[in-house]
Structure 1
Amino acid sequence: MNVRHLTFRLLQVYVAVVRLGSVSRAASQLHLTQPTVSQQLKRLAEAVGEPLLNIGEGRITPTLVGTELYHAALDALSRFEDFNGFLQDARQGTRGSFSIGVVTTAKYILPRLLGPFNRSFPGVEVSISVGNRGYILDRHRHQQDDLYLFSHPPTGEHTLSGRFIHNPLVLITPPDHWAVHHPPADFSALLEERFLLREPGSATRLVFEEWLRKRNLQLKRVMQIESNEVIRMSVEQGLGLAVLSEHTLAEGEHKLGRPAIPGFPLGSHWYLVCHGNRRMPYAAANFVRFINDNLAHCVDERYIHNDLGALLTQLNTQH
């Protein structure tokens, strides 16, 4: 048998004839003429090299070889039906996979988004890479992920982004710090304090240092710590003051002071970012749509600042 001569249409015609036991009924069901169906059956028999059908009175039945071909054709057609269903699910974003690169601070909000999404679309697999801003920027530069979560998005001709969550940066102190009970009228009163900062390039540090520059202020004592958790614990133990995302403080009970200082919290946002010159997987685009439609069910409404509509419009042009 020359399998190259077995086409999808030949198998469809053969299965219909065997099921219905009639060329005329098969032709009617397939919207073909009887001569066309007969010609297809002849081509199929020639490709197999064996008789496939017994032509009896009133009904056509398969031969021994024809019966095996019928079962093989059913398996093949069924597999393609399964694939067609999968293809429809994939195009709707309900099946498939995508990857997302996440800056360290965003790991506090990503589970709140992925949890509800996973419950709604269990057929989608998500891989997550977490690292500092420099690491995720490098992944973005080399297009290693489908989506990224930044609080200070990269720029570039082919970079698309949409902000969706307010990310207030708050000033924290040890719980017994003097500024908690007697807040100064101006931040300059704190310049002699030791400040615990993330590594250079951190979005939180970038926003804080820009805020200081605009006011012509300069910190006198700085300790660099490349971990939000370590910074938070160090502030609790009296090692210094810090500016952190409010989202990093939302989990658990912390012994911290939050003095009412003019200008705080600092304004910042979370952004979903993707490559405009790279086609996004359907599942990833569906994740963006899900966030846009269900954000109020994932995060506290006071943090919502949803501008994902413009990003979705741009993504729709890719599909």
Structure 2
Amino acid sequence: MTLRHATLHQLRSFPVLARHLNMTRAAEELHLTPAALSIQVKQLAEAVGLPLHEQIGKRLFLTEAGRLVDAASRDILSRLAQLATDLAETQGLERGCLRVSMVSTAKYLVPRLLGEFCRVHPGIEVALEVINRDEILDRLVRNQDDLYIMGRVPEGLSVVVQTFMDNPLVMLAPADHPLAGLRAVDPARLEGENFILREQGSGTRLAAEDFFASHRLRPRVRMTLGSNEAVKQSVAGGLGLAVLSEHTLALDVASGAFAILDVQGFPLLRHWYAVYPMGKQLSTVSRTFLEHLAAAGAAQAAGARNYGPEL
């Protein structure tokens, strides 16, 4: 058996198929047609000399050879990425790549911090993924990025965690809500209110559910949405209350569409975390960006920067 005819392009494509186990979705991620991806996988199987997947009904499964090729491909790609980083570091901090994945709520904060970082280090290339928590954890397990930004520390994984900034959660209501403008609202007055929550597994939703449970509230969940913007628009439309990160409201200060309720126990103080696998050797670029995040958090704590709005 020889693998000399296997190409790097095929080795990059196969782990995507192995992750989705769906030719169409994998092809979409790779910006290929399903037919083109199918040809690549077939050619890789021919180079290996064994089938890499099998179709049972409408479902696709990896063969044992496919699982071995998937693991080896990811190892090869990881080593090549590390080689690129090592070579860049021989040229100093002003060259190299920073790969960051973050949960969607962090898009209201982290791109600004990345922008500041890149203005100081303009030669650094940034690859940024904005995805949901489940996808973040999948990428973390696969060690696909340098750093992972999230609002809740992953459980059951061997990781290094750096807290870098507060992430207060607020109770959002339509501007004309009866509780708007009242002081120290008793949580019991939320009983019977309609709520719009983020999707299951969201750190924001989990924090809200912990609050409800601690006060023995049974919220009426009117809608579950996977987007902060959709949640805000639904609140503005009078469909219910919501618990959101204050950072998500940074561009809504002047809209007049919302009120932040002064509910006892709010804001719920959470944090932003930068996470990476235990034992991972961080590049100089990654370590410097972690220092940048820590400095931004220290500035926020000192009141030198205001990342949250006042509605």
Normalising by the smaller structure, the TM-score range is 0.5 to 0.7
Q: Which residue does the alignment assign to 1:102?
A: 102
- Cα separation, 2, equivalents of 1:256 and 1:113: 26
CA distance in 1, matches of 2:144, 2:154: 15
1:168 lines up with 2:155 in the alignment: no
Separation in structure 2 between the aligned mates of residue 251 and residue 303 of structure 1, nearest angstrom:
19
Q: 1:144 to 1:177 in 2, by over 3 A?
A: same
Matched, 1:193 2:193: yes
Q: CA-to-partner distance for each residue in 1:129-187, whole Å, 9 max, x for gaps?
A: 11111111111121111101010021345300111111110001111010114457411
Q: What displacement does 1:290 show?
A: 2.5
Say if 1:94 and 1:286, in contact at 8 Å, map to a contact too.
no
Which residue number corresponds to residue 223 of structure 2?
223
Task: Select the structure that is richer in strand.
Answer: 2
Is contact 2:198–2:228 with CA below 8 Å preserved after alignment?
yes
- In the TM superposition, what is the alpha-carbon distance from 1:303 to its structure 2 partner? 9.3
Relative to structure 1, the CA distance from residue 146 to residue 303 in structure 2 (aligned partners, 3 Å threshold; closer, same or farther) is: farther
- How far 1:262 sits from its partner (Å)? 0.8
When residues 300 and 115 of structure 1 are mapped into structure 2, their CA distance, relative to the original with a 3 A threshold, is farther
Partner-residue secondary structure (3-state), 1:239: coil
Match in the other structure for 1:54: none
Q: CA deviation at 1:295?
A: 4.6
Q: Structure 2 counterpart of 1:267, which letter? A: L
1:87 deviates by 4.5
For 1:290, the equivalent position in structure 2 comes to 292
Moved more, 214-223 or 125-134: 214-223
Q: Is 1:279 the counterpart of 2:278 in the alignment?
A: no
Please tell me whether the aligned partners of residues 192 and 221 of structure 1 are also in contact (alpha carbons under 8 angstroms).
no
* Structure 1 residue corresponding to 2:263, chosen from 223, 242, 261: 261
**Runs of 4+ that moved beyond 6 A:** none
SS state at 1:168 partner: strand
Contact 1:165–1:303, Cα closer than 8 Å, also in 2: no
Distance 1:243 1:89, change over 3 A: same
In structure 2, C-alpha distance between the alignment counterparts of 1:168 and 1:154, rounded to whole Å: 19
SS in 2 for 1:223: strand
Q: What is the CA–CA distance in structure 2 between the aligned matches of 1:280 and 1:236, rounded to whole Å?
A: 43
TM-score (norm 2): 0.65
Aligned-residue sequence identity (percent) comes to 38
Corresponding residue for 2:14? none
Q: Where does the alignment leave 5 or more consecutive residues of structure 2 unmatched?
A: 1-85, 306-311
Conservation of the 8 A alpha-carbon contact between 1:140 and 1:148: yes
| TM-score, normalisation: structure 1 | 0.63
Q: Which runs of 5+ in 1 are unaligned?
A: 1-83, 305-319
2:88–2:96 contact (8 Å) kept in structure 1: no
Letter in 1 for 2:177: H
- d(CA) in 1 for partners of 2:211, 2:234: 23
Alignment of 1:66-105 (within 5 A): 87-90=89-92, 93-105=93-105
AA partner of residue 268 (structure 1) = R
2:239 match: 239
* 2: CA distance, partners of 1:268 / 1:86: 36
**For this pair of structures, how many residues does the alignment match?**
218
What's the C-alpha RMSD, in Å, of the aligned pairs? 2.4
- Indicate conservation of the 8 Å contact 1:146/1:284, yes or no: yes
Q: What is the rounded CA distance, in whole Å, between the counterparts of 2:157 and 2:205 in structure 1?
A: 25
Aligned-partner Cα distance in 1 for 2:87–2:133: 40
Instruction: Map 1:1-319 onto structure 2 (within 5 A).
Output: 87-90=89-92, 93-156=93-156, 158-182=158-182, 185-252=185-252, 253-254=254-255, 255-293=257-295, 295=297, 301-302=302-303
Q: Is the 8 A contact 1:146 1:275 kept in 2?
A: no
Q: Which whole-Å CA distance do the structure 1 matches of 2:294 and 2:233 have between them?
A: 34
Considering fraction of residues, name the structure with more helix. 1
Q: Distance in 1 between matches of 2:271 and 2:295?
A: 18
Please tell me the residue identity of whatever aligns with 2:127: S
Deviation at 1:221, TM superposition (A): 3.5
**CA, structure 1 residues 200+85, in 2 after alignment: closer, same or farther (shift >3 Å)?**
closer
Q: Secondary structure at the match of 2:106?
A: helix
